[in-house]
Amino acid sequence: MSQQVQRPQERYGAPSRTMAERLAAGRERWPTRAEVRGALGLLRDRRWLLALFGVVLLSVLFVFLGRWQFHRHEFREARKNLVAHNYDAAPVDLAALDAQVDGRLTTSLPAHLQWRPVRVTGSYVADAQVLVRNKPRDGQAGFDVVVPIRSDDGLVLLVDRGWVPAGSDVTRPAVVPAVPGGQVTVVARLRPSEVGAERAANGQVTRIDVRALTGSGTAGGRVVQAYGQLVAETPAAPDTPAPADPPDFGIGINLAYAFQWWAFAAAAYVLFGVAMVREVRRLDQ
């Protein structure tokens, strides 16, 4: 005997309709003027007035969250524009750049000079070389190699020459390429000094903290309170660490989040209005 097969709609009920479909079917309709007046009259009830107060507070919170995300978007966009402007600029002599900012490079790095390529001619202070640990790359443990260079003008700049992988003993690299001897011309991009470097074993540190690394005075000269990411050395060394990864030029999705929070603020009032109209219709039944 054949068995009748139930269709999904008969078995589980019809799928939920969209608002447009419910309006077309007459189950939902736009509120009349009388219903709007009745909804506003609900605000004479203390409970509805308190509910409105809660909606206002919630919408204000959503607006501030949107502004917070928008400010983050502006910050990221300004940083992107700064990096794009400075990253591929022609190198300028470090001493000349220091003179342009009235010698402030030995105090701190002005924000507008981040990622600015500079040229330094002098000699590396190989004895002051340090390794910055906890620098994984592509899932492999490694270190950044940082060496001061003392320029012929008496300025000292810490140079991050690049990355070397850890050896079989992950606490130290297998090989650290030697710096070029004698006079060398270095091109590097300026980066702000990091904070909170801690000394570890084997001459390693946790961050490139310029003051901490040059406080002993072993490098000598006037120390630039920034470090440089190596771009090129002349003459080139036979072997060099892997170059630093380029910066992230993206600006993220903070702008979308901002509009999302602002939409939530508007939706809070819309939903509150819908709830009031439905209450009026319920009372009229």
Q: Is there a single domain that holds both residue 51 and residue 136?
A: no
Structure token pair of residue 20? 């447009």
Note whether residue 75 is domain-resident.
Answer: yes
Q: Is there a single domain that holds both residue 149 and residue 196?
A: yes
- Which among 162, 278, 177 has a CA at the least distance from the CA of 229? 162
Q: Is there a single domain that holds both residue 66 and residue 152?
A: no
Predicted local confidence at residue 12, as pLDDT: 45
Half-sphere exposure of 2 (CA within 13 A, CB side): 3
Q: 54: domain range?
A: 34-87+251-285
Note whether residue 6 is domain-resident.
Answer: no
Asked whether the beta carbons of 159 and 185 are under 8 A apart, the reply is no
Asked whether the beta carbons of 248 and 235 are under 8 A apart, the reply is no
* Nearest-angstrom CA–CA distance, 221 and 108: 16
* Backbone Cα Rg of the chain: 32
Sign of the four-CA dihedral 238, 225, 106, 87:
positive
Q: Is there a single domain that holds both residue 260 and residue 162?
A: no
Q: Is there a single domain that holds both residue 194 and residue 116?
A: yes
Sign of the four-CA dihedral 28, 29, 35, 39:
positive
- Across the strands, what pairs with 155? 222
Note whether residue 222 is domain-resident.
Answer: yes
* Nearest-angstrom CA–CA distance, 66 and 61: 9
Q: Is there a single domain that holds both residue 140 and residue 42?
A: no
| Count of beta carbons in the 10 Å neighbourhood of residue 212 | 18
Count of domains observed in the chain: 2
Q: Is there a single domain that holds both residue 78 and residue 210?
A: no
Predicted local confidence at residue 220, as pLDDT: 65
- Which among 126, 155, 93, 121 has a CA at the least distance from the CA of 234? 121
Tokens 């969209």 belong to residue: 18
Q: What is the pTM for the complete model shown?
A: 0.72
Note whether residue 69 is domain-resident.
Answer: yes
Collapsing DSSP to helix, strand or coil, 23 comes out as: helix
Q: Is there a single domain that holds both residue 194 and residue 217?
A: yes
Angle of helix 254-284 relative to helix 33-41, nearest 10 degrees? 100
Helix segments in 113-253, DSSP class H: 210-214
Collapsing DSSP to helix, strand or coil, 87 comes out as: coil
Half-sphere exposure of 196 (CA within 13 A, CB side): 0
Q: Is there a single domain that holds both residue 270 and residue 159?
A: no
Tokens 């009229």 belong to residue: 284
Angle of helix 254-284 relative to helix 46-86, nearest 10 degrees? 160
Note whether residue 94 is domain-resident.
Answer: yes
Digitized pLDDT (tens) for each residue of the chain, 285 residues in all: 455 555 544 544 455 555 555 555 545 678 888 888 888 888 888 999 999 999 999 999 999 999 999 999 999 898 889 888 999 999 999 999 999 998 889 899 999 999 999 999 999 999 899 999 989 898 899 999 999 999 988 899 999 999 999 888 888 898 899 999 899 999 999 999 998 767 776 778 989 999 888 875 555 678 999 999 999 999 988 899 999 888 877 888 999 999 999 999 999 999 999 999 998 888 887
CA 54 and chain centroid, separation: 34
Q: Is there a single domain that holds both residue 192 and residue 257?
A: no
The single-letter DSSP state of residue 145 is: E
